Amino acid sequence: MKKVGITRSIHLKFVLIYVLLILLAMQIIGVYFVRELEDKLITNFTQNIKENVRFLKYNIREEMLRERTDKDLKLEADVASILDDFRGTDISEVRVVDSKFRIIGSSRADNVDTVGQRATDTMVKRALATGKEIDQAYLDENGNRIWVYTYPISSSNGKEEIGAIYIIAKIETVYQQLEEINKIFSTGTAIALIITAILGVLLGQTVTRPISDMRKQALAMAKGNFSRKVKVYGYDEIGQLAITFNNLTKRLQEAQATTEGERRKLSSVLSYMTDGVIATDRKGRVILINDPAAKMLNVSRETVLSQPLVSLLGLDENYTFEDLSNEHESIILDYSTKEQPYILRANFSIIQKETGFVNGIITVLHDITEQEKIDMERRDFVSNVSHELRTPLTTMRSYLEALADGAWQDEEIAPHFLDVTQNETERMIRLVNDLLQLSKMDSKDYRFNKEWIEFVGFFHKIIDRFEMSKNQNVTFKRHMPEKALFVEIDKDKLTQVLDNIISNALKYSPEGGLITFSIIEKDETIVVSVSDQGLGIPQDNLTKIFERFYRVDKARSRQMGGTGLGLAIAKEMITAHGGTIWADSKEGKGTTISFSLPYDSTLEDEWI
């Protein structure tokens, strides 16, 4: 199991959730508080100014409606005197405009030149036109927030507007106060969060410590350690969970010990079985397969689990799972190919409860390939020997009966009959001798008398013997290395091998044919070859010519006195020498029989 990182710890998650909830609550409170405070401060700011403007309007209106001898100068002086008393820290400027849009007063000393000039502000014009107060907040060229308020001055009867008061107030101070309050609130929030996080860590430990102990115990249990116990910190719900967890650990330890014992017994039985075992569930899906079974079926254990048994055994077309559960006889599984036979025998046994409910099937696989092969070879061997002995015996019986009936008195027929009988007797003797030879080679105590022989000269002598005694018009051609090649062989056995191979080449060579003898030196072997120009052997039969009693042309081979065991004996002898033998052929062009023998070129210097 992977180690839990700090980012995945429930302790950290608990503290984070706790802190985030507090932070969320404080943010919601802060947003609501700041918004309401902003509205309140701005409302108080504007209401305060508006109250003062109403009082100012009363004084200005009285001055504007009073009769004067020198009206212009007196009104502007009186308005300036009233505006001097209205100055404040939050008010940048107060202007008074009459009904003709002429500025008659300003509270700013540096704007005295504007008195008497025409006001161009749209808000003033709208206020005089509508008779309603107008306010607006915007940013000045320095980026400061200002609040502009225009209040119309009505006549005594309220039917006409005689002027307007235009005020520019610095509302930026309200936002500066609000920013200071936000800083204080943020600092308080940060301090509260730090304290909350510390308290959350301490509080989280009381909850997560028992859970962490149980997690460690679970990891130890997963590794097979049941001796560890969870510490009980209290008797609340988590404490009760820890006590229950300890009881569960004890029960699991007992159950695991029992299960492990049974598993070891079953594993030992399955491991030491030479037969394959497959178990299925009640639906016929594989739940267990031992190594011999996986090897027999050439599958991996991981890929066949949960696979249907009938599919695994290749019985989909002929059987269902129900058929196999009712099958009392063994089933032969033939996986043979053209190159190699492979046969299994499957026996089935159902897994059944006391109530009769079928839980699954146990399948036992036996590899009977060798047994079937031995049985087939034995049957073929008995059949072949019987056939080989019956033919000459039948011939001899016929000729002996003819002689017994009086043919022995015929001077022309009798010698021929006796000659045939003698030839058949010699052929049976050769057959029996070959069978005895093969029997000796099959026995484990058969011994070879090996010695170091210079093989090139040895091969030349055998070829010379055949070349001198041949009766056919056949040419011998040799391709031999000039240097000496020393090999450790049984001279008599290799002579017999070469006699068989060369005899076959002579038998099947046509008149005027060519037989080629060659030796090729390789790294660790020498390859000896004998090639003829006979009829050749079909490709399908090349691998069978070294089997006992096998003949490509049975009639012709029997007529020539062959027993069908020469190449089989040659194969056994070459194999016993640590070499291999094989054939290459093309129909109508001839056959080449080749065999290899172990060869060590480093020994040549010692012999030389």
What are the distances in angstroms from CA 376 to CA 367, 436, 474?
A: 15, 21, 40
Scanning 272-362, the segments in alpha helix (DSSP H) are: 291-297, 301-304, 309-312, 321-325
Q: Do 360 and 382 belong to one domain?
A: no
The reply to whether 151 falls in a domain is yes
Q: Which of 367, 382, 399 is the last residue of a domain?
A: 367
When the pLDDT of each residue in the chain is averaged and rounded to a whole number, the result is 78
Of 22-31, 125-134, 561-570, which gets the smallest average pLDDT?
561-570
End-to-end CA distance of the chain: 71
Six-digit token string for 443:
């026995």
Q: Do 312 and 330 belong to one domain?
A: yes
The reply to whether 133 falls in a domain is yes
Six-digit token string for 488:
């450790």
Domain CATH for 385 = 1.10.287.130
Number of structural domains found in the chain: 5
* For residues 533-555, average pLDDT: 70
Per DSSP, the three-state class of 185 is helix
Of 349, 345, 350, the C-alpha closest to 365 is 345
Q: Do 40 and 92 belong to one domain?
A: yes
Confidence class for position 477, pLDDT limits 50, 70, 90: very high
The string of pLDDT tens digits covering residues 72-87 is: 456 777 777 777 767 6
Q: Which of 122, 149, 178 is the last residue of a domain?
A: 178
pLDDT at residue 144, as a whole number: 80
Q: Do 156 and 279 belong to one domain?
A: no
CA–CA dist 284, 247 (Å, integer): 37
pLDDT at residue 518, as a whole number: 93
The string of pLDDT tens digits covering residues 414-468 is: 777 777 777 777 767 766 666 666 666 555 555 667 888 899 999 999 898 888 8
Degrees to nearest 5, angle at CA 542 with 540 and 546:
130
Q: Do 529 and 550 belong to one domain?
A: yes
CA–CA dist 223, 218 (Å, integer): 9
Confidence class for position 227, pLDDT limits 50, 70, 90: confident
Domain CATH for 531 = 3.30.565.10
Does the structure show a pLDDT above 50 at 555? no
The string of pLDDT tens digits covering residues 368-385 is: 887 777 677 666 666 666
pLDDT at residue 561, as a whole number: 45
Q: Where in the sequence is the domain holding 567, given as residue range(s)?
A: 450-607
CA–CA dist 125, 129 (Å, integer): 6
- Kindly state the greatest CA–CA separation across the chain: 197
Q: Do 315 and 433 belong to one domain?
A: no
CA–CA dist 94, 169 (Å, integer): 9
Q: Do 136 and 260 belong to one domain?
A: no
CA–CA dist 81, 97 (Å, integer): 15
* For residues 178-193, average pLDDT: 84
Q: Do 323 and 456 belong to one domain?
A: no
CA–CA dist 247, 245 (Å, integer): 5
Six-digit token string for 201:
């860590």
pTM of the model: 0.39
Q: Do 539 and 402 belong to one domain?
A: no
Does the structure show a pLDDT above 80 at 31? yes
Handedness of CA 63, 64, 67, 68 (dihedral sign): positive
Q: Which of 367, 395, 415 is the last residue of a domain?
A: 367
Per DSSP, the three-state class of 457 is helix
Domain CATH for 24 = 3.30.450.20
Six-digit token string for 58:
């009363």
Handedness of CA 45, 46, 47, 51 (dihedral sign): positive
pLDDT at residue 606, as a whole number: 52
Name the burial class of residue 548, with classes exposed (0-12), middle (13-18) and buried (19+) by CB atoms within 10 angstroms of its CB.
buried
Does the structure show a pLDDT above 50 at 6? no
pLDDT at residue 476, as a whole number: 92
The reply to whether 206 falls in a domain is no
pLDDT at residue 440, as a whole number: 63
The reply to whether 401 falls in a domain is yes
CA–CA dist 73, 605 (Å, integer): 147
Phi, then psi, of 101 in degrees rounded to 5: 65, 25
pLDDT at residue 319, as a whole number: 84
Kindly compute the dihedral angle of the four CA atoms of residues 169, 172, 175, 179, in this order, to the nearest 10 degrees: -150
Q: Do 160 and 293 belong to one domain?
A: no
Of 224, 274, 196, 230, the C-alpha closest to 17 is 196
Does the structure show a pLDDT above 90 at 137? no
Q: Do 167 and 31 belong to one domain?
A: yes
The string of pLDDT tens digits covering residues 331-353 is: 888 888 877 788 888 888 888 77
* Residue percentage of the chain with pLDDT more than 90: 4
Where does residue 29 fall: left (phi above 0), alpha (psi -120 to 50 degrees), or beta otherwise? alpha
pLDDT at residue 402, as a whole number: 77
- In terms of average pLDDT, the best of 45-59, 133-147, 299-313, 423-437 is 299-313
- In terms of average pLDDT, the best of 231-235, 435-439, 440-444, 509-513 is 509-513
The reply to whether 475 falls in a domain is yes
The reply to whether 118 falls in a domain is yes
pLDDT at residue 447, as a whole number: 65
Q: Are strands 514-521 and 475-479 parallel, antiparallel or unpaired?
A: parallel
Confidence class for position 1, pLDDT limits 50, 70, 90: very low
The string of pLDDT tens digits covering residues 286-333 is: 888 888 888 888 888 888 888 888 888 888 888 888 888 787 788 888
Name residues whose C-beta falls within 8 Å of residue 487's C-beta, 6 or more positions apart in sequence.
Answer: 452, 453, 455, 526, 597, 598, 599
Does the structure show a pLDDT above 60 at 197? yes
The reply to whether 66 falls in a domain is yes
Does the structure show a pLDDT above 80 at 500? yes
Q: Do 596 and 458 belong to one domain?
A: yes
The reply to whether 113 falls in a domain is yes
Q: Which residues pair with 330 in a beta bridge?
A: none
C-beta neighbour count of 581 within 10 angstroms: 19
According to DSSP, residue 239 is labeled H
Q: Are strands 343-352 and 161-169 parallel, antiparallel or unpaired?
A: unpaired
What are the distances in angstroms from CA 320 to CA 85, 309, 316, 349?
A: 112, 9, 7, 15
Of 64, 93, 58, the C-alpha closest to 77 is 64
Does the structure show a pLDDT above 80 at 280? yes
